[in-house]
């Protein structure tokens, strides 16, 4: 029982961390798109 709740919470935390990271990456790309294009 405890194991199930732990896994569910871990999954939710990973999803939250991943979405935060993804949003940060998107905003970084959006704000620095000119610099990123120069790199390529």
CB 29 within 8 A of CB 36: yes
Q: What is the pLDDT of residue 34?
A: 65
Q: Identify the DSSP state of 33.
A: H
Asked whether residue 38 carries a pLDDT value surpassing 60, the answer given is yes
Task: Tell whether 13 is covered by a domain.
Answer: yes
Interval 34-40 mean pLDDT: 61
Residues 2-22 have pLDDT tens digits of 788 889 999 998 898 888 888
Q: Specify if 38 maps to a domain.
A: no
Q: Residue 20 falls within a domain, yes or no?
A: yes
pTM for the model: 0.48
Q: CA 18 from chain center: how many Å?
A: 3
Is residue 37 domain-resident? no
Give the domain range for residue 13. 2-31
């Amino acid at each position: 029982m405890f194991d199930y709740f732990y896994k569910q919470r871990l999954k939710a935390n990973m999803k939250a961390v991943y979405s935060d990271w993804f949003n940060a990456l998107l905003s970084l790309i959006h704000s620095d798109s000119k610099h990123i294009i120069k790199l390529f």
